[in-house]
Amino acid sequence: MDAERVRLLATGLVVADPGRCVQCGICSHNCPCGIDVRAFARVAGAVTDARCVLCGSCVARCPRGTLSFTLLRQWT
Amino acid sequence: MDVTRRHVLVGSGVAALAAAESIRQADSRATITMVSAEDVPFYSRPALAYLLTNELPESQLSIRSEREVAALGIERVTGLAEGLDAAAHELALSGGRRISYDRLLIATGAASIQADFPGAALDGAVHVDGLSEARDFVARARRARAAVVVGGGSTALELVEALQACGVATHYLMRGSRYWSKVFDAVESAIIEAQLIEQGVQLHRGCTVREAVGAKGVLTGVNTVDGRHIPCDLLAVAVGIRPRLELARAGGVATERGILTNEYLETSAADVYAAGDVAQIYDPVTRMAQLDTLWASALAQGTTAGLNMSGVRVAHRKRAPMNVTRLGGITVTIVGQVGASEDPDLLTLTRGQSERWMTDTDSWSVSGARTGDRLRVIVSGRVIVGAVVVGDQRVSRPLAHLVGEAVDISQLRPMLDANPNDAMDLLLSFCDAHVSDRTADHY
């Protein structure tokens, strides 16, 4: 794992735009880490599960553009 | 004296679920009974589009865990609510069972309407409202060789996508000259249509079905008004939906196109509320009562209804109506007021649509840098009142914020007029500078 990847893992997370989400579950279905992304998106607005490796599968597969990466310091 | 309040919810869609959740949050002692025709776990109706295309297995449909559902303490009753005695506070189910309530929510949703041509009842002519019909559609699509889709809006293209995913030769018949003219301008329609053609869909513009024909009650094809015969073993109909008003009317509850409610989701009958696709909610700002078939609206309405049913007085605040959908593989965001024109493919409202989209306004538009991208912004005075974003979605979130919050863009407007091709960058910069939106800074 290169230094940039480590930096992103330490400082980034996947966040959800609740206005776009219809809780379809494609994000959870495609998560290789088995995280229930949909539940995190609904309850917390962000994937705060420590297993998340920021692979981007959920971000890429969401048909409504609900999920995106952001910096931890910008997420409150 | 027993003060436990008895809540009865009719329907099991997201409006009813949200109501149950807010009732339970406000009142841990209340009883909640949910009456619905479908005996299935809570699922997201828009997700059925992805079940149809096999992107999502049925096992992923449930939107609440067993633990969350158990914590709500809902008694679920499968049956058809067909009678309402509002004075006696009593609901009647088919089969004779009667259920008393202190507060009743009608969240019966909307149902597809039948096509307006002969033969629409043949075996093979289908529509998709709920999970059982989605299952049936998938089973039929897997056996079908050729299919015809009629109708409009996002529902018609969901069915087209499903058929394409199953490898079915698909004809999409449009009565009008272009796709979803109710919402899109000609350029936007053309982008979607080009994508469909590229995917192998056979588009028939200005093509009206005269009749569906069959043998021994089973569909074999459609005949068109201009004399063509298109053989098919599946006819998918998406010409619109209509709120299910039977229960409300049986109980003497005031209805128009939907069940009329005030901003507290109260109907004309005491202690009877309505939310979701069936509700036609009065907006004190616009002084209009309009229908809305957006999933997010149903969720918000259900939450507000549940609070009011529990005695917490909260007015429903209508947000800028927004839908994000995938049409022909292209992501499209529609937000706010985007204009209106005739659409012969839709006899009524379709799913995922708001009557508030339909207004006559001046619009201003620009095409994106890449083929297939399009941005249309509708400006009224100093604010952006609506937008359609096709393809590149970078600007859709900031735009939704500008529309929803009615942000004054008078400083931005001259730059947009002078440099329309830089609209995306200008809007993003404007949002960075003026909107404290944490989502604006992504990597």
B143-160 confidence digits (pLDDT tens): 999 999 999 999 999 999
Is there a contact between B150 and B236 (Cβ–Cβ < 8 Å)?
yes
Residue of higher predicted confidence among B287 and B381: B287
pLDDT of residue B2: 55
ipTM attached to this prediction: 0.89
In this prediction, residue B443 carries a pLDDT of: 35
The distance of B63 to chain A (nearest Cα, Å) reads 7
Task: Say whether residue A75 is in contact with chain B using an 8 A CB cutoff.
Answer: yes
Whether the CB of A11 is below 8 Å from some CB of chain B: the reply is no
Domain B6-110+242-309: give its CATH superfamily. Answer: FAD/NAD(P)-binding domain (3.50.50.60)
Instruction: Report the residue from A19, A28, A68 with minimal CB separation from B322.
Output: A19
CB neighbour burial string for A20-39, b if at least 16 within 10 angstroms, e if fewer? bbbbbbbbbbbbeeebbbbb
Express each pLDDT in B244-277 by its tens digit.
999 999 999 999 999 999 999 999 999 999 999 9
What is the number of other CB atoms lying within 10 angstroms of the CB of residue B104?
31
Q: Which residues of A touch B47 (CB under 8 A)?
A: 22-26
AA letter at B342:
E
Per-residue pLDDT at B438 exceeds 60: no
Domain B125-239: CATH superfamily, name plus number: FAD/NAD(P)-binding domain (3.50.50.60)
In this prediction, residue B16 has a pLDDT band, given cuts at 50, 70 and 90, of very high
- Chain B residues in contact with A28 by the CB 8 A cut-off are 60
- Contact across the interface for B46 and A24, Cβ inside 8 Å: yes
A20 touches chain B (CB under 8 A): yes
Q: Average pLDDT of B317-323?
A: 86
Q: B322-440 is classed in which CATH architecture?
A: 2-Layer Sandwich (3.30)
- Whether B114 shows a pLDDT value over 60: the answer reads yes
A25·B65 Cβ contact <8 A = no
Q: What is the CATH number of the domain that holds A34?
A: 3.30.70.20
* Segments making up each domain of chain B, as ranges: 6-110+242-309, 125-239, 322-440
Domains B6-110+242-309 and B322-440 share a fold: no
User: How many domains would you assign to chain A?
Assistant: 1
Residue A32: partners with Cβ closer than 8 Å, 6 or more residues away: A55, A57
In B, minimum Cα distance to A56 occurs at: B443
| pLDDT single digits (tens) B50-74 | 999 999 999 999 999 999 999 999 9
Residue % of chain B over a pLDDT of 70: 91
Burial call B115-138: b when 16+ CB within 10 Å, e when fewer: bebebbebebbbbbbbbeebeebb
Contact state of B44 with A22 under an 8 Å Cβ cutoff = yes
Task: Report percent pLDDT > 90 for chain A.
Answer: 61
Percentage of chain B beyond pLDDT 90 is 69
Q: Which residues in chain A touch residue B55, judged by CB atoms under 8 angstroms apart?
A: 26, 29, 63
